[in-house]
A = this chain, B = another copy of it.
């Protein structure tokens, strides 16, 4: 007997997934459903499914956070990510937490029923990893060095996106103030802020710092959720540091 877990907050998509999986030839005998990230983590532990279909955008906990917790329990758990967007923030989040041995897939919700079925087969039965073509594009852009931001630049981007000052970033990342500014300069360059700003007149039209966040949002490098995540990360780091005192210094 094999049981599967589907995690999806939208009732419509949930019932769609349910139908596709039960009609597949997975030999699925039990289907468990969750509506948010916390439920997902709990149920994954309780029912020990043979595979999980996981939405990324959910209340309580992100799909990425849920996957991280689930893989912490069992790094071999096959997970098929199932998302609305190919935003870089999501892709980057996933590639950062996936264990070496994990089998997973990443599919967009716009995929046809056939492709979904095929992917379920691939990931849950044959143990292959598959990633949607649209997402591949983002991934390469992220990993490659021609376009795309380095890890350091991405970090500093999130830091200014949550509103930190240069000094606060320096403390947070453990580097000097001038280094922060150096990284910011690189970031601005890569986002192309040095190209457009001086069109309209005599004085600078854009504030580099704010503009960087804007273009990052518009080009889907980050989104509202990644900002929330970064904010709570930072908040947690601060309180931890507060408890340990300045000893870590």
Contact = CB atoms under 8 A, between A and B. Distances in A.
A167 B203 contact: yes
**Mostly helix, strand, loop or mixed at chain A's interface?**
helix
Nearest to A228: B218
Contact of A163 (B213, B224, B227): B213
Given A10-B109, A11-B110, A210-B213, A164 B205 contact: yes
Contacts of A12: 12-13, 16, 109
Interface size bucket, A side? 35 or more
A244 interface: no
A228 B11 CA distance: 29
Interface of A: 10-13, 16, 109-110, 160-165, 167-168, 199-200, 203-215, 217-218, 220, 223-224, 227-228, 231, 238, 242
10 contacts: A162-B214, A164-B206, A165-B203, A165-B204, A168-B200, A168-B205, A217-B227, A220-B224, A223-B224, A224-B224
